């Protein structure tokens, strides 16, 4: 396509226009080359992991890369997880463990995201609409108080929580993780939802009040339906962050509430683990989020850009 | 407890107001009583047979509910409005403020979970040990390096955002592709890239390096090479985040401004530095500050790939403290390290924001 364009450009008599056209084409080629290069950088590790889960030892050692061209795909890695077509009907302890961790991840991620969006939306609506005063703190200070939790590194909370959770019998429990994850995503949810509520005209609230609705009626009947896209964005972003969280899960869970990242990490550490099994496990761990990323990209971008661009 | 709008007492009858006040008072007394009994129980003074501190937790929940109900009774409409922010405020207080204060009390003890003697107050011993701990300061130095790399990430992300904002076909497709690394968990990335692609015998990167003529490629033996690869992995995961913010900024930019620059005959290079870049400054600063804040928490990839090695060259403060706890069960000292880090971070971020605010004022 590029060559064709160059030819047609050369054919035109006007040399000035030709150079400009050439420059334009070169620019286009450069842009697409850069796009392809970065797409390769973004996708190769994922491609590598998926294909490696279908390799046997020989293919790993010889560095084969392309299925059906230089190696025959094999279910080896998936069989070791108990997830290949021929083992899916059989009993598998590895699969049971994997599914257990997978479910734990789902419970914690969904639980924490739900809780965070619930209390975060309420707080964001309050901060967006009412004038608060608590001790010396006004709305702006209260907003800053919530957002400032974002800089609290997990390591500061990890050790106190280890001791506190032991005393509260919450160590190695899903509830304990849900509460902590809620805390870590709450500032982000409040940020997104405050931005969302600020874009909804306050006249709607006033009209609802004239109709005799109290603050809670106004919120649930009028404002909440309008803020739904923002809530979905906040929920999905929380989901991703919670699903991938490792630090707290590694310190605060043992056998019961272990999440998927902890399982992946513990397998990585053990020597002599087969590449194909590890690749299958990694693929299974990232697959849900890759699907979410592709299908719900619109909401993720909406969540990420909330409040950052005053356009 | 005046978490309310300008109080409008007139709307609420005197009886309701007194009832609300009594409810809150009763719940507060109950909460402190349960806490006191628990303290006596765990100190062995008053053996009530309580195995854990759950009763105090339930008392706190009850107190929170009573506080909300009391507010509504006392202040009517203003109380209903306060109810919106109350759950999040009480949750944050219980889950962030209290544990941090509790952590402070651990930080000044010699508590080691592996030793049989319990925690004992040891004054500023931990602080003195911290000042002399070469590994801690090494991790701190690494953090400075990692944070400086944010600007490299920013430069790459800006390039990608410009690419996506150019006139291209299938923009949505490229955007989804570029976004994918952000979805992946750092732990999975640790294996996918750190443990397999960078494996020195069979990994594709090692193979590629050998093809380029590097004899014995190894990625985690030389301190700087190891640090760069850790940074590369972290950057790979987080560049999409910065890119998306910058792309949103580019798309919000008024088209006329760029057209005007074009008409004036500015070259693309001039257009970028004299028009686009200055206009993008606010978004850029948001992106960089957020990225720095997240960078300061860097731990997962280091813990799973190098455990801080070789010789602490890749250690971040978080991964160092993680091992201080995991391997040595040194809760007291580890907490002091974390608290000291928190203080430094708060000072650093506050100064950064102050500086940026001044800088932005001068620019505009």
3 state SS for chain A: CHHHHHHHHHHCCCHHHHHHHHHHHHHHHHHHHHHHHHHHHHHHHHHHHHHHCCCCHHHHHHCCCCECCCECCCCHHHHHHCCCCCCCCCCCHHHHHHHHHHHHHHHHHHHHHHHHHHHHHHHHHHHHHCCCEECCEEHHHHHHHHHHHHHCCHHHHHHHHHHHHHHCCCCCCHHHHHHHHHHHHHHHHHHHHHHHHHCCCHHHHHHHHHCCCCHHHHHHHHHHHHCHHHHHHHHHHHHHHHHHCCHHHHHHCCCCCCCHHHHHHHHHHCCCCCHHHHHHHHHHHHHHHHHHHHHCHHHHHHHHHCCCCCC
3 state SS for chain B: CCCCCCCCHHHCCHHHHHHHHHHHHHHHHHHHHHHHHHHHHHHCCCCCCCCCCHHHHHHHHHHHHHHHHHHHHHHCHHHHHHHHHHHHHHHHHHHHHHHHHHHHHHHCECCCCCCCCCCCECCCHHHHHHHCCHHHHHHHHHHHHHHHHHHHHHHHHHHHHHHHHCCCCCHHHHHHHHHHHHHCCHHHHHHHHHHHHCCCCCCHHHHHHHHCCCCCCCCCCCHHHHHHHHHHHHHHHHHHHHHHHHHHHHHHCCHHHHHHHHHCCCCHHHHHHHHHHHHCHHHHHHHHHHHHHHHCCCCHHHHHHCCCCCCCCCCCHHHHHHHHHHHHCCHHHHHHHHHHHHHHHHHHHHHHHHHHHHHHHHHC
A97 and A43 in a common domain? no
- Residues in A touching B296 (Cβ below 8 Å): 151, 153
Higher pLDDT, B112 or B302: B302
- Please report the sign of the dihedral spanned by the C-alpha atoms of residue A62, residue A67, residue A68, residue A69: negative
A143 and A43 in a common domain? no
pLDDT of A1 strictly over 50: no
Name the band, by pLDDT with cuts 50, 70 and 90, for residue B107.
confident
pLDDT at residue number B344: 93
Asked if residue A254 belongs to a domain, the reply is yes
A137 vs B: CB within 8 A: no
A97 and A228 in a common domain? yes
Whole-angstrom distance, CA of residue B110 vs CA of residue B126: 8
Q: Taking a C-beta distance cutoff of 8 angstroms, is the pair A295, A180 a contact? A: no
A206 and A108 in a common domain? yes
Q: What are phi and psi of B344, to 5 degrees?
A: -60, -45
- Residues in B touching A169 (Cβ below 8 Å): 51-52, 54
Whole-angstrom distance, CA of residue A273 vs CA of residue A277: 7
Asked if residue A258 belongs to a domain, the reply is yes
Asked if residue A248 belongs to a domain, the reply is yes
Whole-angstrom distance, CA of residue A184 vs CA of residue A153: 9
pLDDT of A310 strictly over 60: no
Closest CA to A239 of A185, A175, A180: A185
Q: Render pLDDT for A198-238 as a digit per residue (tens, 0 to 9).
A: 989 999 988 998 888 888 999 999 999 999 989 999 999 99
What torsion do the CA atoms of B345, B326, B303, A271 make, to the nearest 10 degrees? 180
A156 vs B: CB within 8 A: yes
Which residues 233-292 in chain A show a CB within 8 A of chain B?
Answer: 240, 243-244, 246-247, 250-251, 260-262, 264-265, 268-269, 275, 278-279, 282, 285-286, 289-290, 292
A197 and A271 in a common domain? yes
For the ranges A86-90, B90-94, B123-127, the maximum mean pLDDT occurs at B90-94
A116 and A17 in a common domain? no
Q: Render pLDDT for A239-280 as a digit per residue (tens, 0 to 9).
A: 999 999 999 998 888 888 889 999 888 877 666 567 888 888
Mean pLDDT of A133-142: 87
Q: What are phi and psi of B109, to 5 degrees?
A: -125, 165
Higher pLDDT, A4 or A305: A305
Asked if residue A148 belongs to a domain, the reply is yes
pLDDT of A103 strictly over 90: yes
Q: Do B174 and A35 touch (CB under 8 A)?
A: yes
Peptide bond into B310 cis (omega under 30): yes
pLDDT of A311 strictly over 50: no
Q: What is the CATH number of the domain that holds A279?
A: 1.10.3720.10
Q: Do B300 and A292 touch (CB under 8 A)?
A: no
- Residues in B touching A61 (Cβ below 8 Å): 201-202
Q: How far is B15 from chain A (nearest CA, A)?
A: 22
pLDDT at residue number A78: 85
pLDDT at residue number A127: 93
Whole-angstrom distance, CA of residue B56 vs CA of residue B64: 12
Q: Taking a C-beta distance cutoff of 8 angstroms, is the pair B192, A48 a contact? A: yes
Q: How far is B303 from chain A (nearest CA, A)?
A: 9
pLDDT of B92 strictly over 60: yes
A111 and A33 in a common domain? no
Mean pLDDT of A66-71: 81
Name the band, by pLDDT with cuts 50, 70 and 90, for residue B238.
very high
pLDDT of A10 strictly over 60: no
Name the band, by pLDDT with cuts 50, 70 and 90, for residue B5.
very low
Asked if residue A240 belongs to a domain, the reply is yes
pLDDT at residue number A269: 62
Q: Do A240 and B183 touch (CB under 8 A)?
A: yes
Mean pLDDT of B217-237: 90
Mean pLDDT of A111-129: 95
Q: Render pLDDT for B21-58 as a digit per residue (tens, 0 to 9).
A: 999 999 999 999 988 888 888 777 777 777 788 888 99
A151 and A29 in a common domain? no
pLDDT at residue number B158: 95
Asked if residue A63 belongs to a domain, the reply is no
pLDDT at residue number B9: 46
Asked if residue A152 belongs to a domain, the reply is yes
A115 and A196 in a common domain? yes
A40 and A121 in a common domain? no
A228 and A99 in a common domain? yes
Choose, out of A109, A151, A267, the residue to mutate when testing the contact with B (most B CBs < 10 Å): A151
Q: Is A144 exposed, middle or buried (0-12, 13-18, 19+ CB in 10 A)?
A: exposed
Residue A54: CA count within 13 A, CB half-sphere: 15
Higher pLDDT, B113 or B311: B311
Q: How far is A15 from chain B (nearest CA, A)?
A: 20
Number of structural domains (chain A) is 2
Q: Render pLDDT for B286-329 as a digit per residue (tens, 0 to 9).
A: 899 999 999 999 999 999 888 887 888 899 999 999 988 888 77
Among candidates A42, A123, A246 on the partner chain, residue whose Cβ is nearest the Cβ of B187? A246
At a CB cut-off of 8 Å and minimum separation 6, what does B219 contact? B198, B200, B205, B206, B225, B226, B229
Closest CA to B163 of B228, B257, B265, B239: B239
A153 and A277 in a common domain? yes
pLDDT at residue number A273: 64
CB atoms within 10 A of CB B299: 23
Q: Render pLDDT for B246-297 as a digit per residue (tens, 0 to 9).
A: 999 998 888 888 888 888 887 888 888 888 898 898 889 989 999 999 999 9
Asked if residue A17 belongs to a domain, the reply is yes
Name the band, by pLDDT with cuts 50, 70 and 90, for residue B2.
very low
pLDDT of B69 strictly over 60: yes
For the ranges A260-264, B53-57, B87-91, B209-213, the maximum mean pLDDT occurs at B87-91
Q: Residue A115 is part of which domain span? A: 93-305
């Amino acid at each position: 396509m590029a060559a064709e364009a160059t030819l047609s450009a050369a054919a035109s008599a006007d040399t000035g226009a030709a150079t400009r056209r050439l420059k334009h084409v070169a620019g286009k080629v450069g842009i697409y080359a850069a796009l392809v290069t970065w797409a390769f950088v973004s996708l190769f590790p994922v491609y590598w992991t998926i294909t490696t889960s279908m390799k046997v030892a020989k293919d790993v050692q010889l560095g084969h890369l392309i299925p059906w061209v230089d190696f025959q795909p094999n279910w080896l890695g998936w069989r070791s997880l108990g997830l290949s077509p021929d083992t899916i009907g059989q009993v598998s302890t590895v699969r049971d463990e994997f599914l257990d961790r997978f479910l734990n991840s789902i419970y914690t991620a969904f639980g924490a995201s739900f809780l965070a969006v619930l209390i975060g939306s309420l707080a964001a609506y309050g901060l967006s609409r009412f004038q608060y005063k608590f001790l010396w703190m006004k709305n702006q200070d209260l907003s800053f108080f919530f957002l400032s939790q974002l800089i609290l590194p997990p390591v500061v909370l990890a050790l106190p929580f280890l001791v506190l959770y032991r005393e509260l019998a919450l160590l190695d429990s899903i509830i304990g993780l849900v509460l902590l994850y809620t805390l870590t995503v709450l500032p982000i949810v409040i940020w997104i939802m405050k931005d969302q509520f600020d874009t909804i005209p306050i006249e709607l609230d006033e009209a609802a009040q004239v109709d005799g609705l109290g603050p809670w009626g106004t919120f649930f009947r009028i404002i909440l339906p309008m803020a739904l896209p923002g809530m979905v964005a906040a929920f999905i972003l929380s989901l991703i962050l919670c699903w991938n969280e490792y630090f707290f899960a590694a310190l605060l869970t043992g056998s019961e509430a272990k999440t998927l990242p902890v399982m992946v990490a513990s397998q990585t550490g053990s020597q002599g683990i087969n590449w194909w099994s590890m690749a299958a496990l990694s693929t299974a761990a990232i697959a849900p989020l890759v699907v979410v990323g592709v299908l719900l990209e619109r909401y993720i971008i909406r969540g990420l850009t909330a409040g950052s661009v005053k356009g | 407890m005046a978490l309310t709008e300008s109080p409008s007492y007139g709307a609420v009858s005197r009886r309701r107001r007194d009832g609300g006040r009594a409810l809150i008072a009763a719940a507060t007394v109950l909460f402190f009583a349960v806490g006191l009994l628990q303290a006596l129980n765990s100190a062995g003074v008053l053996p009530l047979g309580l195995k854990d501190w759950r009763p105090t937790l339930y008392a706190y929940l009850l107190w929170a509910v009573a506080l909300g109900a009391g507010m509504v009774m006392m202040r009517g409409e203003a109380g209903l409005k306060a109810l919106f922010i109350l759950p999040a405020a009480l949750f944050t207080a219980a889950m962030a403020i209290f544990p941090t204060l509790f952590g402070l009390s651990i930080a000044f003890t010699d508590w080691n979970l592996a030793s049989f003697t319990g925690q004992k107050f040891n004054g500023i011993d931990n602080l003195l040990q911290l000042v002399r701990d070469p590994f801690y300061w090494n991790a701190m130095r690494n953090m400075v390096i990692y944070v400086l790399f944010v600007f490299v990430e920013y430069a790459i992300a800006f390039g990608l955002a410009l690419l996506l904002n150019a006139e291209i076909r299938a923009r949505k497709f490229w955007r989804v592709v570029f976004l994918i690394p952000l979805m992946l968990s750092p732990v999975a990335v640790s294996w996918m890239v750190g443990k397999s692609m960078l494996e020195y015998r069979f990994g594709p990167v090692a193979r590629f390096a050998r093809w380029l003529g590097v004899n014995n490629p190894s990625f985690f033996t030389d301190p700087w090479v190891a640090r760069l690869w850790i940074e590369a992995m972290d950057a790979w995961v987080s560049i999409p985040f910065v890119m998306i913010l910058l792309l949103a900024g580019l798309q919000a930019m008024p088209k006329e401004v760029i057209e005007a620059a074009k008409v004036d005959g500015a070259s693309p290079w001039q257009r970028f530095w004299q028009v686009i870049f200055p206009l993008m400054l606010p978004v850029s600063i948001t992106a960089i500050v957020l990225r720095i804040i997240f960078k300061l928490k860097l731990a997962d990839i280091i813990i799973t790939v190098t455990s801080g090695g070789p010789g602490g060259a890749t250690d971040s403060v978080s991964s160092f403290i993680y091992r201080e706890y995991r391997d040595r069960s040194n809760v007291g000292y580890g907490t002091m390290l974390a608290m000291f880090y928190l203080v430094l971070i708060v000072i650093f971020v506050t100064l950064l924001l102050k500086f940026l605010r001044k800088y932005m004022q001068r620019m505009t």
